[in-house]
A and B are shown apart, each in its own frame.
Chain A
Amino acid sequence: MTRVVLVPGALALLREYAGLEDPVAELRAACLGAVGWLGTDVTVLADRQGERVAAYLLAATERGGAEASYLVVGNGSAMRTERAPGHLDERSSAFDEALGASLRAGRPEVDAELARELWASVDGIAQLRRSGELGPATVDYDDAPFGVQYWVMRWQA
């Protein structure tokens, strides 16, 4: 059996960026819950910033079990609203909808060029695609609270 978790690469999750109040408390809880479900040995699929998020989440969770485990760090576009980091791009909703649907189905499909234009972080997701079909996802989080599309999903294959 293989367990796979997807979390977003939000730097607000990192301890070094903690404020007195947590702006991503709900997302953090979902991430910690999902990562805690992984086995002891975890392979991380992420870009360099995503690796830091993964390292934080792995250090912050106690895990057991010998299942092959993957932690994927990636997220949708960062242009969902006028207040989003990349401002509003009308294409972002459709992009996130399509990427989200493919993830839910366990067959990630990424338009790498459009992802780059819409500031989506998909390196880890693209790596995940190469590992074959995952089956339907359990969705723990699906929202874009700051104009950036976040998902927390789990697959067991």
Chain B
Amino acid sequence: MTLRLGRHEFADDATLMMAIVNRTPDSFYDRGATWAEDKAFERVALVAAQGAEMVDIGGIKAAPGVEISEAEEKARVIDFVARVRESFPDLVISVDTWRASVGAAACAAGADVLNDAWGGADPELVDAAAAGGAAIVCTHTGGVTPRTRPYRIEYDDVVAAAIADTVAYAERAIAAGVPRESVVIDPAHDFGKNTFHSLEVTRRLGEMVATGYPVLVSLSNKDFVGETLDRPVGERLVGTLAATSVCALAGARIYRVHEVVETRQTVDMVWSIAGRRPPRRAIRGLQ
């Protein structure tokens, strides 16, 4: 089925790079490098030039910290979305928010996707997506409160839980009026999960793909990579790309990333190994 993300459509075998653009002073990886609006805009221009199909603009870091009001989140995100929309009409703009009011304003400013990393914490977010003509990303968090870390969360079967929750969320979005082809699911590595959970979700990602909903994975430099390899933030690219390979082989469609170029090469390579993408240019032995 064609994937429709707001103004944009993609074939059912297309893979998409969703580049992270933080309008935050304190996100774990970039530590405020794109906090200033012009720096964030430069990052958008960079990732667009690198071939990213999407940007994911967020105004609040995922980890606990100073509470950011709706007004402050809007101030960080909405005008910026409008500026990106005007300058990069071909780019899919996703906004990373769990708040319906922020989502609605983002859609009005030109957002194509609402990426709800917190699993439907605000039940009205689906209505904002439907009314705004946006796609929605339905994540699994195990029901945790936004901006909290997992603490002794356990599952009988983490993958079954992820499928049940994301599909239920997807069905709620469709019932609210979001078109079926605009609903994406995301197991949400590290969110409501310890490292063992995130590894299992990675290992069994094919079960999520089998639901028929396009799957987004957000693996980039996360703690499950760091803990698995005992690497600090800044030394997790190799582990991230290894996890990316496994998810690509399983058929994940959207990759939320810090490193666009490396991830694109990894996904293209695996997609070709899987027989879903021809090589770029093949002549060896065929002359």
Q: Which A positions have Cβ atoms within 8 angstroms of B?
A: 10-12, 17-24, 78, 84-85, 146-148
Of the stretches B13-21, B193-201, B277-285, the one at the interface is B277-285
Judge whether B279 and A10 touch: CB under 8 Å. Answer: no
Judge whether B281 and A10 touch: CB under 8 Å. Answer: no
Judge whether B287 and A19 touch: CB under 8 Å. Answer: no
Question: Binary interface profile of B, 249-287, with partner A (CB < 8 Å = 1, else 0)?
Answer: 000000000000000000000000000011111110111
A18 to B285, CA, bound (A): 13
Judge whether A23 and B285 touch: CB under 8 Å. Answer: no
CB neighbours (8 Å) of A23 from chain B are: 281-283
Q: Can you list 22 residue pairs at the A/B interface with Cβ under 8 Å?
A: A10-B286, A10-B287, A11-B285, A11-B286, A11-B287, A12-B283, A12-B287, A17-B282, A17-B286, A18-B278, A19-B279, A19-B281, A20-B278, A20-B279, A22-B281, A23-B281, A23-B282, A24-B283, A85-B285, A85-B287, A146-B283, A147-B287
CB neighbours (8 Å) of B283 from chain A are: 12, 23-24, 146
A27 to B281, CA, bound (A): 15
CB neighbours (8 Å) of B280 from chain A are: 19-21
CB neighbours (8 Å) of B285 from chain A are: 11, 85
CB neighbours (8 Å) of A24 from chain B are: 283
A146 to B282, CA, bound (A): 12
- In the assembled complex, how far is the CB of residue A73 from the closest CB belonging to chain B, in whole angstroms? 14
Main secondary structure of the interface of A (DSSP, over half): loop
Output the nearest chain A residue to B287 by Cβ-Cβ distance: A146
A17 to B283, CA, bound (A): 9
A17 to B287, CA, bound (A): 11
Interface size in chain B (residues, C-beta < 8 A): 10
Q: Which of A18, A20, A22, A78 contacts B287 (CB 8 A)?
A: A78
CB neighbours (8 Å) of A146 from chain B are: 283, 287
A119 to B27, CA, bound (A): 61
Judge whether B287 and A148 touch: CB under 8 Å. Answer: yes
CB neighbours (8 Å) of B277 from chain A are: 20
A19 to B226, CA, bound (A): 37
- In the assembled complex, how far is the CB of residue A141 from the closest CB belonging to chain B, in whole angstroms? 14
- In the assembled complex, how far is the CB of residue A32 from the closest CB belonging to chain B, in whole angstroms? 18
A114 to B281, CA, bound (A): 32
CB neighbours (8 Å) of A11 from chain B are: 285-287
A147 to B283, CA, bound (A): 12
CB neighbours (8 Å) of B287 from chain A are: 10-12, 78, 84-85, 146-148
Question: Binary interface profile of B, 98-128, with partner A (CB < 8 Å = 1, else 0)?
Answer: 0000000000000000000000000000000
A78 to B287, CA, bound (A): 8
A11 to B284, CA, bound (A): 10
A11 to B282, CA, bound (A): 11
A84 to B285, CA, bound (A): 10
Output the nearest chain B residue to A24 by Cβ-Cβ distance: B283
Most B CB contacts (10 A, CB to CB) among A18, A20, A24, A85 go to A20
CB neighbours (8 Å) of B278 from chain A are: 18-20
A12 to B278, CA, bound (A): 13
10 smallest A-B Cβ distances: which pairs? A146-B287, A12-B286, A23-B283, A11-B286, A21-B281, A19-B282, A148-B287, A19-B279, A19-B281, A19-B278
